[in-house]
Amino acid sequence: MKRRSFLKYTIPSVIIPALVGGFKLQAFAGDPMVHSLLSTAANDRVLVVIQLAGGNDGLNTVIPIEYYADYKNARSNIAIVESKILKLNGNDKTGLNPGMLAMQQLFNEEKLAIVQAVSYPKPSFSHFRATDIWLTGEESNQILNTGWMGRYLNYLYPDFPVNYPNNTMPDPLAIQIGSVVSPALQGPSFPMAMAISNPDSFYKMLNEKHLNGDASPSLDQIDFIRQISEKTDAYSDVIKKAAQRITKQSDKFAEKGKNPLSDQLKIVSRLIAGGLQTKIYMVSMGGFDTHAKQTEVDDTSKGAQATLLQKVSEAIYAFMDDLKLQNTENRVVGMTFSEFGRRIKSNASGGTDHGSAAPVFVFGKPVQSGIIGVNPLLAQNAIVNENIAMQNDFRAVYATLLTNWLDVSKTALPSILQPNFDLIPLIKPA
């Protein structure tokens, strides 16, 4: 079995819990000489990536008020009543789902950018394939074995995991809340991140001593497992110390267990404020595959999607409030993505089927607030297979965040995102 496949399918769920007393943890890092030479590593900026798994329906998330008649005609059973659409300051053509009051407030506070109709050429409608494309940054006819954030971290730390942690970079390069490190964080040989299996295990770790497990891998995988075990032990200590420095957080976070995304982002903010030099955090929330009963029959402003969007909205707002409380809001930018959008026309089950383009949210105090792109054009009589046309390539969003936020040089960018993509105005000028 190849090492990458062994890691992807075996390590996170089987080996790691035996290493750290049930706390599923993976940790990796890079090289000190390169770190000290690159200006990218010298800044203290952080990127937070939120995956909305399942394919969020963008047309009922960011609603084209200017084409409301065509929108209503295409979605007569799930269209949101125009009077209930949330209006945005300075824009009377576009609104938000009624569940997104907190995101409306962020937009009105000029801390939110909405990128319209994000996709890629020849999109896939398969959850698995589309997710791989978004996580790797590859073309739809291409297969890459590394993730876009993994390549960025490998650019900073090309010799990882040798001699890490060290005095120059004592902390994990990236952290994901989840049992398995995302392919987005996969480097050339190892994942460039560590994973915290869930919020409960995180808080349990803060009050536990480490237990030395005895893994029993075979053949040539044993050295690989030993490296993981060593990094796991080293990084769990620095994470505990960072978390224990923060004793008060925003009261806008949901009660524990009520909002899974809020629980995850509360940990992220705590670790940022606690002093970790970690560059990237990744969190996720599922449930967006709304083929049926997307809205309530008698009130389309409510239902499955509205509930999900409310949780996302409130979690991000609480996260932003906590960043302000911790005096770290100038250091953090976040983005959301889903593997695809949904069709223009709703189906007979009160839901929407797999589509292509959908909006992406980019949030943070350093963000250039506003709407990038225009409302998608809707045919007066949309047919069942009709999709929203792409306006922005998702890799243009990545390229902009890498260049204008994480300070990757334009000469180095093609090694992370192979083609050249035009940058879009997401980050305020320095």
What mean pLDDT comes out for the span 228-237? 67
pLDDT of residue 404: 97
Task: Please spell the DSSP secondary structure of 67-112, one letter per residue.
Answer: GHHHHHHHTTTTPPPGGGSEEETTEEEEEE-TT-HHHHHHHHTT-E
What mean pLDDT comes out for the span 72-99? 97
Residue 6 or residue 106, greater confidence: 106
pLDDT of residue 231: 58
pLDDT of residue 235: 87
Say what percent of the chain tops pLDDT 90: 74
pLDDT of residue 232: 59
Quick: pLDDT tens for 135-164: 999 999 999 999 999 999 999 988 888 888
Q: Please give the domain boundaries of the chain with CATH numbers for all domains.
A: 3-416 (3.40.720)
Q: What is the mean pLDDT of the chain?
A: 87
φ/ψ of residue 281, rounded to 5: -125, 140
State the pLDDT confidence band at 80, using cuts at 50, 70 and 90.
very high
Q: Is pLDDT of 116 > 70?
A: yes
Q: Which of 161-164's residues contact partners 24+ apart within 8 Å by CB, and which partners?
A: 161/28, 161/29, 161/30, 161/190, 161/227, 161/231, 162/31, 163/31, 163/32, 164/28, 164/29, 164/30, 164/31, 164/32, 164/231
pLDDT of residue 166: 81
Let me know: does 65 contact 85? Beta carbons within 8 Å: yes
Quick: pLDDT tens for 175-226: 999 888 999 999 998 899 999 988 988 888 887 654 444 444 455 455 554 4
Residue ranges of the alpha helices (H) in 116-198?
A: 127-136, 148-156
Quick: pLDDT tens for 284-314: 999 999 999 999 999 999 999 999 999 999 9
Let me know: does 288 contact 55? Beta carbons within 8 Å: yes
Let me know: does 173 contact 153? Beta carbons within 8 Å: yes
Whose tokens are 């009520």? That residue is 258
Quick: pLDDT tens for 266-292: 999 999 999 999 999 999 999 999 999
pLDDT of residue 16: 30
Beta bridge partners of 191: 186
What mean pLDDT comes out for the span 97-125? 98
Angle between helices 199-206 and 260-273 (to 10 degrees): 40
Residue 236 or residue 41, greater confidence: 236
What mean pLDDT comes out for the span 397-425? 94
Distance CA 330, CA 426 (A): 15
Q: Which of 52-66, 111-125, 126-140, 233-247 has the lowest mean pLDDT?
A: 233-247
3-state DSSP call for residue 179?
coil
Distance CA 135, CA 88 (A): 30
Tokens of 186: 């996969």
pLDDT of residue 209: 54
Beta bridge partners of 317: none
Residue 190 or residue 12, greater confidence: 190
What mean pLDDT comes out for the span 236-253? 95
φ/ψ of residue 132, rounded to 5: -60, -40
Let me know: does 53 contact 288? Beta carbons within 8 Å: yes
Q: Is pLDDT of 384 > 50?
A: yes
Whose tokens are 């995302």? That residue is 182
Quick: pLDDT tens for 29-43: 333 343 334 444 447
State the pLDDT confidence band at 14, using cuts at 50, 70 and 90.
very low
Residue 207 or residue 393, greater confidence: 393
Let me know: does 343 contact 355? Beta carbons within 8 Å: yes
